[in-house]
A = this chain, B = another copy of it.
Amino acid sequence: MSFTEHRALGRTLWETTQVVNRAFERTLAEVGGSRAVWFIFLALAAQEHATQRDLAATVGITEATLTHHLNALELRALVTRTRDERDRRIQRIEFTEEGRAAFERILAAATAFNRRLVTAVGGDLDTLYAALDRLAAAADADHEAVPSPLAETHHDIGL
C-alpha cells in the first residue's frame, strides 16, 4: 500500500541512518564513547577552532549544548578547560592524558566501523556521495538561512 507516487526516499534515508547510527553508537559505547563525544573529540584533535563557538559550529550544535557535553567530559577527566591568558573570556580545551587515550580507542573503533561501511558500498562511493550531497542541497533549498553543520569539512574528517 503506497500513499505517494514515489518511493519513500526520505524515509529510507532516515531508516538507513537510524540503523547505521544505532550500530555506530553501540560500537562507540563499547569503548566509552558516543556520537556526540566522537564529533567533539575529532574537532578538538583537529585543533581548528579558536573559541567554543567555533567548536560548536564545527560539531553542528549550539554553544549551550557544547557546554553541556564539555561539563560531562570534564567531569570524566577527559578534557580540561583553562582560561586563555591573553583573553580571559576564551576557554582553551585540551585532552587530558586519559582523554587522549579515550580518543585513540574511539578513533580505532570508528575507523573500523567506517571501513566496514565503505567495504559494503563497494565501488560506488563517489556516486553515493554525489547523491547524498544533492539530497542535502535539495532539502536545504527552502531554508538557506539555516547553516548546514560542518559544510566546509564535509567528507574531510574521519567518520
Could you tell me which residues of chain A, from 3 to 50, have a CB within 8 Å of some CB in chain B? Answer: 3-24, 26-27, 35, 39, 42, 45-46, 48
Q: Are A118 and B20 in contact (CB under 8 A)?
A: no
- In the complex, what distance in Å separates the CA atom of A132 from the CA atom of B118? 11
Q: Are A149 and B10 in contact (CB under 8 A)?
A: no
Q: Are A8 and B114 in contact (CB under 8 A)?
A: yes
Q: Are B11 and A159 in contact (CB under 8 A)?
A: yes
> Residue-by-residue, is A129-153 near B (CB-CB < 8 Å gives 1, otherwise 0)?
1011111111111110010111000
- In the complex, what distance in Å separates the CA atom of A35 from the CA atom of B21? 17
B2, B10, B21, B134: which contacts A122 (Cβ < 8 A)?
B134
Chain B residues whose CB sits within 8 angstroms of the CB of A46 once the complex forms: 1
B11, B18, B142: which contacts A23 (Cβ < 8 A)?
B142
Q: List residues of A whose CB falls within 8 A of some B CB.
A: 1-24, 26-27, 35, 39, 42, 45-46, 48, 60, 107, 110-111, 113-122, 124-125, 127-129, 131-143, 146, 148-150, 154-159
What are 13 residue pairs bridging A and B, where the CB atoms are less than 8 Å apart in the complex? A3-B107, A3-B157, A4-B107, A4-B158, A12-B129, A14-B17, A16-B17, A16-B132, A16-B135, A19-B136, A23-B139, A24-B139, A27-B142
